[in-house]
Amino acid sequence: MRHQPPPAPAGAGPDAQPTPAPRWARWFVAAYLAVFVVCGVAGLEAWPLTGWRLFADARQARQPGLQAVTVDRAGRETPIPFRDLPVGYHGDVQVLKGFAGLPGDRQAGVCRAWAEAVRARGGEVAEVRIYQTLTDVSRRVGDRGAPPTRTLRFTCRPGSPDAGG
């Protein structure tokens, strides 16, 4: 006995029309697209309904930033490798932006935490420094962008009485 394929459902040939989507799905898609267009036109940043500012805004030639580094006993500076630290340390941008506004004891606590995390990875930390940086993207050194200029803003000596600010 040969195996026979089941008969094709009625109307399932190459000329058959697909089943339309449910009415609620069409309403949802229409409403979503309308809100998406409004957010794009109005420049609203309500993820996932973005106005694409991240990619569409022109960046200024001079871009300010902050950089945290550890300093060993010999005075060598090493940027804190936040990406290599545990996930709890990955919010460095937000912490650095608000660092100046923290009370001294909180600044000391942040510096201690960063120093302990770097030490746990085998790094030597005598102090933590936070620099204000200014990157001029129009400046070049050969075929690369020039390094940012840095201004020292904070020095923390974890474990000492003047650990903050």
Reply yes or no on whether the pLDDT at 129 is more than 70.
yes
Rounded Cα distance between 36 and 81, Å, is 38
pLDDT at position 45 = 74
Q: How far apart are the first and last CA of the chain?
A: 88
Separation of alpha carbons 53 and 65, rounded Å = 19
Vertex 14, ends 8 and 19: CA angle to 5°?
80
Once rounded to an integer, what is the mean pLDDT over residues 55-72?
A: 85
Reported pTM: 0.62
Please tell me whether residue 54 adopts helix, strand or coil conformation. helix
pLDDT for the residue numbered 18: 85
**Greatest CA separation for the chain:** 92
When pLDDT is cut at 50, 70 and 90, the band that residue 17 belongs to is confident
pLDDT level of residue 82 (50, 70, 90 thresholds): very high
- Cα–Cα distance measured from residue 4 to residue 87, given in angstroms and rounded to the nearest whole number: 58
